């Protein structure tokens, strides 16, 4: 066969329809790459709703007093914003989109271990997210408890709690099954020669995430079921009037929801660990340290949940222990930051778009992480607890961490996914505007929190007006940047110029196959004989 | 053409991982039980005596036998005894059904005495009783729900053995179904002493 006919015969996964037409070639396909994209599109769809709700909140806070909505509407807005952003977007985000697309490619496998289960997980995800979003429209008005569904209010309020809580429960199932699938895939389907310590870092973080998804999610599952039991059967688990203990709810909730933060951030760290060596053209510094710190975060992350409850009422011993453990869990994250920076040191850095996202990730992650220590220390936490400071910290670490890594990963693997390159100057413009808006939006919150502005109020004292205006304008700037990024990517996916197999000079397996990859990824399963990230 | 891949070890591993998640699901309830028992030892003691140990014991024996029959059905299929395997899976399903019938009468009797979540009678009895019976109905109810799921799973296994999709050299799915059934059994082994015997 000549070289040319060989090329013509090549069929990418996007050309492979399996005999199905239109939307069915997507929603019936068990190809991990198509499923990853299904997640990408559904997550992006929900993200728009979440962003709109967020912008509405910032518009309400642009001036003291009622601006565009009243107290009840504001409560509903921040609740649904939180539920959508947490359960529908950042928890599935990186593992479901990039984990699905890349995991088999990076470990040299034709697919995940259970392709049908994988597709089924997506259907559960869609079902759960529709339940959650339906709570906005049906019944006694949108839920108003905050995304944490704190008892006893969550079963006393007359609003439409049931679909939201049930939806979060269903989404947990999707998360568990995805994690399970990935763990088995990594254990069983690594290419010959790829020992654990030759596995790239993104699969490593997916592995740690998988364990958290598996071992933490059931706890929130049962907790949400108990809230449903409270609402329907009036049992009394968390109802002080019946002898129940609302603090117990908080414990059970955070036993999951704190590790869930690591579900969000670990794969983000994995993506950054892929991007930085590629654009520094240098082997990652301290591969082993990153692997160990990944697993350490996954492990220690289980034992810090109490730091969400410093002011809820716990014994002094518990307070000290949780505070200490919180400081300990910060260490492996710091190790990673040092490793990334050391990787860049004396590297030949090219400031392509993914690198810009990764570098800005390190910055916002650092701010988010260090302000987290302010909250993890007992005395300072009492001062800033439940203030705008917490909102600022949370958005820096979760939106700044996971969000920046997500966009970085999207710009890094975009040519692999679609086989086309995006317009780099627009992507860069979008990034600059987004970053300025982001800091403008969340930066002032630290100041406001220190000054004592509480979170979750639709109104504030006039003395907080200045920073709030800055924050609201920051939101509008950030959304402008976001729109530029998305439009650029959509246009480029349709008509960008063709990308080569390895546009960035990456070293991992996914760059050794054509862009976009074929249905089964590899013509023959490769044999691995060297450690990842080797530049000779 | 989609990718076909058979990996019995991987499949068994996935089942064990799923079983972990189920144990943790009940784990949340066991913690709740421990906390409230610690807070109301007297009431939990007295309320436990209200439960019928005889029916509880019978149900325990039924579940233990059903675990044995499903294990035997896996051995039977390995020895190419298809009919015996079908019979044993069928027996397991019937035993599960008997368990549920017993449970129905047990719950029914409690309901007649005005003991059910949110009842006025329970509110009069006090915090400990409300929480004990709240946990009792919630945990045994969730367990009964798992029995029903298990029966559906075993129903599929019966069908798959019948149409020879599961055979002596390809029976991992039946083994996974069996593992799930053992899990349902195991949870009951913990529920039974916690509610019926520690009194």
pLDDT tens-digit map of B159-183: 999 999 999 989 999 999 999 999 9
Residue in the structure block whose two tokens are 């403008």: A440
Q: What are phi and psi of A313, to 5 degrees?
A: 110, 90
Sequence-distant (≥ 6) Cβ neighbours of residue A219 within 8 angstroms: A252, A255, A256, B24, B25, B27, B28
Closest CA to B9 of B144, B172, B184, B181: B172
Contact between A437 and A475 under an 8 Å Cβ cutoff? The reply is yes
The Cα A438–Cα A427 span in angstroms is 16
CA distance B152 to chain A (A): 18
Determine the residue of chain A that is closest to B34 in CA distance. A248
Q: CB distance from A248 to chain B under 8 Å?
A: yes
Closest CA to A50 of A99, A87, A94: A87
User: Does any domain span residue A19?
Assistant: no
Q: Give B6's pLDDT tier (boundaries 50, 70, 90).
A: confident
CA distance A461 to chain B (A): 42
The Cα B160–Cα A298 span in angstroms is 39
What HEC string does A55-73 produce?
HHHHHHCCCCCCCCCCHHH
Closest CA to A142 of A205, A203, A219, A81: A81
Residue range B79-108, pLDDT digits in tens:
999 999 999 999 999 999 999 999 999 999
Q: Which CATH superfamily is domain B8-197 in?
A: Cytochrome c oxidase, subunit III, four-helix bundle (1.20.120.80)
Sequence-distant (≥ 6) Cβ neighbours of residue A456 within 8 angstroms: A75, A78, A146, A386
List CB contacts (< 8 A) between B146 and chain A: none
Number of structural domains (chain A) is 1
Tokens linked to A364 = 């916002």
Q: Which domain holds residue A255?
A: 30-511
Q: What are phi and psi of A98, to 5 degrees?
A: -80, -30
- DSSP letters spanning B97-131: HHHHHHHHHHHHHHHHTT-STT-HHHHHH-HHHHH
The Cα A242–Cα B128 span in angstroms is 9
The Cα B3–Cα B172 span in angstroms is 19
Tokens linked to A509 = 């397996």
Decide: helix, strand or coil at residue A498: strand
CA distance B115 to chain A (A): 11
Residue in the structure block whose two tokens are 């063709």: A498
Decide: helix, strand or coil at residue B163: coil
Q: How far is CA A231 from the centre of its chain?
A: 30
Residue in the structure block whose two tokens are 């860069």: A428
List CB contacts (< 8 A) between A248 and chain B: 32, 35
Q: CB distance from A184 to chain B under 8 Å?
A: yes
- DSSP letters spanning A151-193: TTHHHH--SSHHHHHHHHHHHHHHHHHHHHHHHHHHHH-PPTT
Q: CB distance from B41 to chain A under 8 Å?
A: no
- DSSP letters spanning A190-238: PPTT--GGGS-HHHHHHHHHHHHHHHHHHHHHHHHHHHHHHHHH---TT
The pLDDT score that the predictor gives to residue B3 is: 54
CB atoms within 10 A of CB A103: 27
Residue in the structure block whose two tokens are 């705008």: A388
List CB contacts (< 8 A) between B131 and chain A: 236-237, 242-244
Q: How far is CA A225 from the centre of its chain?
A: 24
pTM of the model: 0.94
User: Does any domain span residue A519?
Assistant: no
Q: Give B4's pLDDT tier (boundaries 50, 70, 90).
A: low
Decide: helix, strand or coil at residue B167: strand
Q: Mutation test of the interface with chain A: which of B24, B44, B125, choosing the one with the most A Cβ atoms within 10 A?
A: B24
Q: CB distance from B42 to chain A under 8 Å?
A: no
Contact between A235 and B127 under an 8 Å Cβ cutoff? The reply is no
Contact between A293 and A257 under an 8 Å Cβ cutoff? The reply is no
User: Does any domain span residue A527?
Assistant: no
Sequence-distant (≥ 6) Cβ neighbours of residue A352 within 8 angstroms: A279, A424, A504
Residue in the structure block whose two tokens are 């190419």: B80
The pLDDT score that the predictor gives to residue A138 is: 76
User: Does any domain span residue A530?
Assistant: no
CA distance B150 to chain A (A): 17
Q: CB distance from A241 to chain B under 8 Å?
A: no
Tokens linked to A463 = 């003395």
Whether the per-residue pLDDT at B5 is higher than 60: the answer is: yes
Contact between A32 and A112 under an 8 Å Cβ cutoff? The reply is yes
The Cα A19–Cα A518 span in angstroms is 16
Q: What are phi and psi of A301, to 5 degrees?
A: -55, -20
Domain spans of chain B, in order of start: 8-197
Contact between A78 and A146 under an 8 Å Cβ cutoff? The reply is yes
The pLDDT score that the predictor gives to residue A430 is: 97
The Cα A526–Cα A192 span in angstroms is 7
Which ranges of chain A have pLDDT less than 50?
1-6
The pLDDT score that the predictor gives to residue B2 is: 47
Whether the per-residue pLDDT at B1 is higher than 50: the answer is: no
Q: CB distance from B18 to chain A under 8 Å?
A: yes
Q: Give B65's pLDDT tier (boundaries 50, 70, 90).
A: very high
The Cα A110–Cα B37 span in angstroms is 51
CATH number of the structural domain spanning residue A221: 1.20.210.10
Contact between A310 and A319 under an 8 Å Cβ cutoff? The reply is yes
CA angle A438, A444, A446 (to 5 degrees): 110
User: Does any domain span residue A4?
Assistant: no
List CB contacts (< 8 A) between B36 and chain A: 243, 245
* End-to-end Cα separation, chain B, in angstroms: 61
Closest CA to B80 of B175, B166, B173: B166
Over residues B17-39, the mean pLDDT reads 95
Contact between A142 and A136 under an 8 Å Cβ cutoff? The reply is yes
The pLDDT score that the predictor gives to residue A398 is: 94
Tokens linked to A276 = 């930085």
The Cα A434–Cα A440 span in angstroms is 10
Tokens linked to A150 = 């704190």
How many residues make up chain A in this entry? 536
Closest CA to B158 of B64, B72, B92, B60: B92
The Cα A261–Cα A365 span in angstroms is 13
CA distance A237 to chain B (A): 7
Determine the residue of chain B that is closest to A177 in CA distance. B18
Burial B92-107 (b: 16+ CB within 10 A, else e): bbebbeebeebbeebb
The pLDDT score that the predictor gives to residue A1 is: 38
Chain A / chain B CB contacts < 8 angstroms: 116
């Amino acid at each position: 066969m000549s070289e040319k006919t060989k090329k013509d015969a090549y069929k990418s996964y996007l050309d492979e329809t399996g005999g199905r037409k239109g939307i069915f070639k997507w929603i019936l396909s068990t190809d991990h790459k198509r499923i990853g994209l299904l997640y990408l599109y559904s997550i992006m769809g929900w993200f728009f709703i979440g962003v709109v709700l967020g912008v509405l909140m910032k518009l309400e806070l642009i001036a003291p007093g009622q601006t565009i909505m009243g107290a009840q509407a504001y409560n509903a807005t921040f609740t649904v914003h939180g539920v959508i952003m947490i359960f529908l977007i950042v928890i599935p985000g990186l593992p479901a989109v990039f984990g699905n697309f890349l995991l088999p490619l990076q470990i040299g496998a034709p697919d995940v271990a259970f392709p049908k289960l994988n597709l089924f997980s997506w259907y559960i995800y869609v079902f759960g997210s529709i339940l959650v979003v339906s709570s906005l429209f049906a019944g006694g008005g949108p839920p108003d408890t905050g995304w944490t569904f704190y008892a006893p209010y969550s079963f006393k309020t007359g609003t439409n709690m049931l679909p939201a809580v049930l939806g979060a429960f269903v989404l947990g199932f999707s998360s568990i099954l995805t994690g399970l699938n990935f763990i088995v895939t990594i254990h069983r389907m690594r290419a010959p020669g790829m020992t654990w310590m030759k596995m790239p870092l993104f699969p490593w973080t997916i592995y740690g995430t998988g364990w958290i998804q598996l071992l933490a999610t059931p706890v929130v599952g049962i907790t949400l079921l108990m809230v449903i039991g409270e609402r329907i059967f009036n049992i009394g688990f968390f109802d002080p009037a019946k002898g129940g203990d609302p603090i117990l709810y908080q414990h059970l909730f955070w036993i999951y929801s704190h590790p869930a933060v690591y579900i969000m951030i670990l794969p983000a760290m994995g993506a950054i660990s892929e991007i930085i060596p590629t654009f520094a053209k240098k082997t990652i510094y301290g591969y082993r340290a990153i692997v160990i710190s990944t697993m350490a975060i996954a492990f220690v992350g289980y034992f810090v949940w109490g730091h969400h409850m410093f002011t809820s009422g716990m014994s002094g011993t518990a307070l000290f222990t949780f505070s200490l453990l919180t400081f300990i869990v910060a260490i492996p994250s710091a190790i990673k930051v040092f490793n990334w920076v050391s990787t860049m040191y004396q590297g030949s850095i090219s400031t392509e778009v993914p690198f810009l996202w990764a570098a800005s990730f390190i910055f916002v992650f650092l701010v988010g992480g260090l302000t987290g220590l302010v909250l993890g220390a007992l005395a300072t936490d009492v001062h800033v607890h439940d203030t705008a400071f917490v909102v600022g910290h949370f958005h820096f670490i979760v939106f700044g961490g996971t969000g920046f890594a997500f966009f970085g990963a999207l710009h890094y693997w975009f040519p692999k996914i679609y086989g086309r390159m995006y317009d780099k100057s627009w992507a860069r413009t979008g990034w600059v505007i987004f970053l300025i808006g982001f800091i403008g939006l969340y930066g002032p919150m630290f100041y406001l929190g220190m000054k004592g502005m509480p979170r979750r109020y639709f109104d504030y004292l006039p003395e907080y007006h200045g920073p709030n205006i800055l924050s609201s304008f920051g939101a509008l700037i950030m959304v402008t940047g976001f729109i530029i990024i998305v439009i650029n990517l959509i246009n480029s996916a349709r008509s960008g110029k063709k990308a080569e197999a390895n546009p960035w000079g990456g070293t991992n397996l996914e760059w050794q196959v054509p862009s976009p990859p074929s249905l089964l990824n590899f013509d023959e399963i490769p044999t691995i004989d060297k450690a990842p990230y080797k530049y000779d | 053409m989609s990718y076909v891949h058979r990996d019995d070890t991987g499949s068994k591993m996935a089942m064990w991982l799923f079983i972990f998640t189920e144990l943790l699901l009940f784990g949340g309830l066991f913690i709740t039980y421990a906390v409230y028992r610690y807070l109301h030892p007297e009431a939990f003691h007295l309320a436990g005596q209200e439960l019928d140990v005889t029916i509880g014991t019978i149900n325990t024996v039924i579940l233990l036998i059903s675990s044995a029959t499903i294990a035997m059905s896996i051995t039977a299929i390995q020895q190419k005894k298809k009919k015996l395997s079908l019979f044993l899976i069928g027996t397991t399903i019937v035993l599960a059904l008997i368990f549920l019938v017993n449970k129905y009468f047990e719950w029914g009797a409690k309901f007649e005495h005005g003991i059910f979540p949110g009842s006025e009678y329970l509110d009069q009895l006090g915090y400990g009783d409300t929480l004990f019976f709240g946990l009792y109905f919630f945990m045994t109810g969730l367990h009964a729900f798992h029995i029903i799921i298990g029966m559906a799973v075993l129903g599929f296994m019966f069908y798959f053995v019948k149409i020879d999709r599961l055979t002596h050299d390809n029976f991992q799915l039946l083994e996974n179904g069996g593992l799930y059934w053992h899990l349902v059994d195991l949870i009951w082994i913990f529920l039974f002493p916690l509610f019926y015997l520690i009194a």
